[in-house]
């Protein structure tokens, strides 16, 4: 459900001491390897490979491509993976992707959570991708936004979504996805991509 499973801004501040195998008890770094952060083709290949491998994974995984020249792979639990484990320094400006497990009988799970967006603000992340079965969503902040601005916009978009559900008598749908489709009505500097 979320990339920062209730962690807030914690983690290793100096990522030079972070190693594969490090864990906080819920998330584990499974691999660290060098990557040319300026090589767009290499970055896209890693995102595509991640999407192929983890689209239907039963637990959350994350891939962080950092301007520090490293690629970090992490594994979490069914309801979260906490990329804060690699440290704030490695996360600033990083391109990330994670998966949301797909509920049984569905072809995709829901989109980014409110916590995913606040995590991106708190760590000043770059473009973020999400995979969940057939779902391929992405977002990025194109200007500085405060957490309070985001939370207010989220609640306004949520009210719009609920009104639409009531008018159209919709029962089963992906609520976070519906909120994200509406949030930029209330939040400037946020771009949501339904397909990547």
Helices (H), ranges, 55-146: 88-91, 114-122
- Residues 184, 12: Cα–Cα separation, whole Å: 33
Is 7 a member of any domain? no
- pLDDT beyond 60 at 42: yes
The answer to whether residue 8 is domain-embedded is: no
Whether residue 2 lies inside any domain: the answer is: no
pLDDT band for 117, please (50, 70, 90 cuts). Answer: very high
In a domain, 6, yes or no: no
What predicted TM-score, i.e. pTM, was given to this entire model? 0.88
Distance, in Å, from the CA atom of 121 to the CA atom of 20, rounded to the nearest integer, reads 26
Instruction: Please tell me the total count of domains within the chain.
Output: 1
The yes-or-no verdict on residue 196 having pLDDT over 90 is no
Domain contains 163: yes
> How confident is the model over 106-125, as a mean pLDDT?
96
Residue 94 has pLDDT above 50, yes or no: yes
Range of the domain at 55: 25-193
């Amino acid at each position: 459900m979320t990339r920062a499973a209730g962690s807030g801004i914690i983690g290793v501040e100096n990522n030079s001491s972070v190693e594969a195998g490090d864990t906080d008890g819920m998330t584990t770094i499974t691999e660290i390897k060098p990557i040319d952060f300026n090589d767009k083709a290499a970055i896209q290949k890693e995102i595509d490979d991640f999407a192929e491998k983890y689209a239907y994974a039963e637990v959350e995984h994350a891939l962080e491509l950092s301007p520090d020249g490293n690629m970090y792979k992490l594994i979490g639990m069914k309801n979260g993976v906490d990329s804060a484990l690699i440290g704030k320094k490695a996360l600033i400006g990083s391109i990330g992707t994670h998966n949301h497990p797909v509920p049984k009988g569905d072809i995709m799970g829901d989109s980014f959570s409110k916590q995913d967006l606040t995590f991106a603000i708190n760590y000043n992340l770059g473009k973020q991708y999400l995979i969940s079965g057939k779902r391929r969503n992405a977002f990025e902040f194109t200007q500085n936004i405060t957490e309070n601005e985001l939370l207010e916009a989220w609640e306004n978009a949520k009210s719009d979504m609920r009104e639409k559900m009531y008018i159209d008598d919709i029962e089963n749908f992906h609520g976070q996805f519906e909120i994200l489709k509406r949030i930029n009505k209330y939040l400037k500097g946020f771009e949501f991509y339904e397909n990547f």
